[in-house]
Amino acid sequence: MTVLPARLSIVTLGARDMVNLRRFYRALGWPELPAGDDTWTGFLLGGVLLALFPMGDLTAEAAPGSATPTGWAGVTLACTVDTRDEVDRAYSAAVSAGATPVAGATDRPWGGRSAFIADPEGNRWEITWGPEATFDERGALLTWG
């Protein structure tokens, strides 16, 4: 075992507007942690916590002395679904919940299918299906390819 375990436990998004961002993720039907409020909140997603934290507070902790970031940072988050057809349905549901469409569902050269949306603050999400993906009972990704 290494000193730093090979695991991803929490993904934190710096929120410019906590009220709106919380509303969006709740509109997707994702259960918010009971302790969630406008100072910090989280959504437990198949063993990984998606945390929302005010951008100014996150910048002060994670990048002290830096300016508040703007624009897309070149990072995407992904939600893997169980079937090829679910990509299209999940994409439509996300757009209905307030996501901005970025790229519609497309069959990819590697054999899967995916689409891209942005949440109300521009964070990019890929909705993806891979033919070799398997999940545990919590929905955590076990294998990809």
Question: In a structure prediction context, what are the per-residue pLDDT tens digits for the chain, which is 145 residues long?
Answer: 568 778 888 999 999 999 999 999 999 999 999 999 999 999 999 889 999 999 999 988 888 888 877 777 778 999 999 999 999 999 999 999 999 999 999 999 999 999 999 999 999 999 999 999 998 998 888 888 7
- Domain 76-145, CATH among 3.50.50.60, 3.40.50.1860, 3.10.180.10, 3.40.50.300: 3.10.180.10
CATH 3.10.180.10 domain position(s) in the chain: 1-65, 76-145
C-alpha distances (whole Å) from 71 to each of 14, 20, 68 are 12, 17, 10
pTM for the full model? 0.86
Q: How far apart are CA 86 and CA 66, in angstroms?
A: 40
The gap from C-alpha 107 to its chain's centroid, in whole angstroms, comes to: 21
What was the pLDDT predicted at 1? 54
Contact assessment for residue 55 and residue 38, using Cβ atoms and an 8 Å cutoff: no
The CATH fold assigned to 1-65 is: 2,3-Dihydroxybiphenyl 1,2-Dioxygenase; domain 1 (3.10.180)
Token representation of residue 100: 């901005």
Which 8-state DSSP code applies to residue 109?
T
Can you give the pLDDT at residue 5? 76
Looking at residue 126, what is its pLDDT? 96
DSSP-derived pairing of the beta strands 100-107 and 48-54? unpaired
Residue 2: per-residue pLDDT: 67
